[in-house]
């Protein structure tokens, strides 16, 4: 079975790492993700990861918290580094070589983000985890994912979520919602489907980088996506 994609950027939400908890990290989810990622790296697929921070901290509403937006965003970036370290741990336990690169310098725990070095790690078969978003406030980790994917010349952005694709409405709230197998960037924008935030989405559209939204919590799904099976929703 040959992979359809040689180099992928996998975007995971921080919330996905909580499992059934209301906060923090679920070791079982991390272990399952590590096994799934190992399955595809064993096939020779080069994997880069961007993880959100919403399970620990997300830039809250300034009016409610009294924390200004930029400060809150930096706090969220630090949360993504904690998640990156947790997933790095899980991957190394599963026998996968990894490198954590941070857009905010933290020499003791992560390499600084250097594009060429990241590509070199990927070529050597290491999983590269990009932490701290873009390093700038006002940008989400979705945008960081799209940006890094373009920088490392990934073939596709895989957005692993808790639902199995993009629906006409939120399937958890609307039982009549139907799933798209594939949709164009233009349609996704005009229908205002919340695939990613607009900046992330536009980056992918302008650089002809396809996005696949799929359920990462279903073991084996990542392998199915990488080998070209019809899983999730393709945006192109």
Q: List, for residues 20-42, the tens digit of each pLDDT value.
A: 898 899 999 999 999 999 999 99
Question: In Å, how far are 91, 154, 236 from 27, measured between CA atoms?
Answer: 12, 28, 34
Neighbours of 114 (CB within 10 A): 11
pTM: 0.95
What domains does the chain contain, in order, with CATH numbers? 7-235 (3.40.1160.10)
For the stretch 215-224, pLDDT in tens is 999 999 999 9
pLDDT (0 to 100) of residue 167 = 92
Average confidence (pLDDT) over 93-99 = 98
Average confidence (pLDDT) over 2-11 = 96
DSSP calls for 2-38: --S-SEEEEEE-TGGGGTTSSSS--HHHHHHHHHHHH
Q: Where are the beta strands (DSSP E) in the chain?
A: 7-12, 46-51, 98-102, 111-112, 127-131, 156-161, 166-167, 179-180, 182-183, 211-215, 233-235
Q: Where are the beta strands (DSSP E) in 74-187?
A: 98-102, 111-112, 127-131, 156-161, 166-167, 179-180, 182-183
Position 60 pLDDT exceeds 80: no
Question: Dihedral of the CA atoms 135, 162, 128, 148 (nearest 10)?
Answer: -50
For the stretch 65-80, pLDDT in tens is 889 999 999 999 999 9
124 Cα distance to chain centroid: 21
């Amino acid at each position: 079975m040959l992979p359809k994609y040689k180099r992928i950027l996998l975007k995971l939400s921080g919330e996905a790492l909580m499992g059934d908890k209301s906060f923090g990290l679920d070791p079982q989810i991390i272990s399952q993700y590590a096994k799934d990622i190992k399955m595809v790296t064993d096939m020779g697929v080069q994997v880069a990861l961007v993880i959100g921070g919403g399970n620990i901290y997300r830039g809250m509403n300034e009016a409610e918290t009294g924390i200004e937006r930029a400060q809150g965003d930096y706090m969220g970036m630090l949360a993504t580094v904690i998640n990156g370290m947790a997933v790095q741990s899980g991957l190394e336990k599963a026998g996968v070589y990894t490198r954590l690169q941070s857009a905010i310098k933290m020499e003791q725990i992560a390499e600084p983000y250097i594009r060429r070095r990241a590509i070199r790690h990927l070529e050597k078969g290491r999983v590269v985890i990009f932490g701290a978003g873009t390093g700038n406030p006002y940008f989400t980790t979705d945008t960081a994912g799209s940006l890094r994917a373009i920088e490392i010349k990934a073939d596709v952005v895989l957005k692993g979520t808790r639902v199995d694709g993009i629906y006409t409405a939120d399937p958890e709230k609307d039982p009549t919602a139907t799933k798209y197998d594939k949709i164009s960037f233009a349609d996704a924008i005009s229908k205002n489907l919340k695939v990613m935030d607009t900046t992330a989405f536009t980056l992918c559209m302008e650089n002809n980088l396809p996005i696949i939204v799929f359920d990462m919590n279903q073991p084996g799904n990542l392998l199915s996506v990488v080998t070209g099976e019809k899983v999730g929703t393709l945006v192109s």
